[in-house]
Amino acid sequence: MATEITIRRFSERDAAQVRELFITVNTLLSTPDLRDAFEAYIERALAEEIDRIPAYYGEHAGSFWVAVKDDKVVGMFGLEGTSDGAMELRRMYVDPAARRQGIARQMLQSAEDECRRQRVTRLTLSTSEIQVAALALYKNAGYSLLGEETADVASNKTIGSGIRRYYFEKALR
C-alpha cells in the first residue's frame, strides 16, 4: 500500500532537509573502498547543485520537487532539460526510513506527469550499479536501457571511480 504523501515543488524551507537527505543517501551508498570518492562527490554536488537548487534548476530549464509526509521531506527529485528536448530525471532519493512504501513509484509517476504537462515526450535518467532498487524500479516502470558505461571521471552527476552507470529512457504518451 502506498504511503500518503504530498509531492510539491521545492521551496527554500525544504533546503536543510533536502541537503540532509542527499548526504544521508549518498553516505549509505558509499562502500569503504569508495569513501573518499563519495565524500568528494557529495561536497561537489552540494556546492554545484544541492545548496543552490533554485539557481541550478533555473539554469538547466528544470524544476525540483519534494515528497512530504507529516511536514518531513521523505523524498526528492529534479527534472532537468536536455539539449535534445527531453527531460532528465535527477536526484531521485527516498529517505531510508520511508522506503518500501511506494514513494519512489509515486515520485516517478509525478515526474512523468510533469513532463506530459510540459508536453515533453521523453524522460531520460541514469543510475549506477550500486543502486539496485532504482534499477529494478526503472525497468519495472517501462524504461528502456539505452546504454551503460564505466564512469571514471567525477562530476556533480557521478562519483566516477569506475562505477558502472546505466542510462534509461521512456517515451511518454
Which one of 3.90.1150.10, 3.40.1390.10, 3.40.50.970, 3.40.630.30 gives the CATH number of domain 6-171?
Answer: 3.40.630.30
pLDDT at 150: 84
Confidence category of residue 129, pLDDT binned at 50, 70, 90: confident
pLDDT at 3: 65
Q: Hey, which residues does 52 pair with through a beta bridge?
A: none
Q: How far apart, in whole angstroms, are the C-alpha atoms of residue 134 and residue 139?
A: 9
The grid coordinates of residue 133 equal: 532498487
DSSP, residue by residue, 8-32:
EE--GGGHHHHHHHHHHHHHHH--G
Q: Hey, which residues does 68 pair with through a beta bridge?
A: 6, 73
DSSP, residue by residue, 134-156:
HHHHHHHTTPEEEEEEEE-S--S
Q: What is the Cα gyration radius of the chain?
A: 15
The grid coordinates of residue 100 equal: 518500501
* 24-64 pLDDT, tens digit each: 999 998 888 888 888 888 999 999 999 999 999 999 999 99
Question: Domain extents for the chain?
Answer: 6-171
Could you give the C-alpha distances from 137 to 12, 16, 44, 53, 94, in angstroms and in order?
29, 27, 27, 25, 13
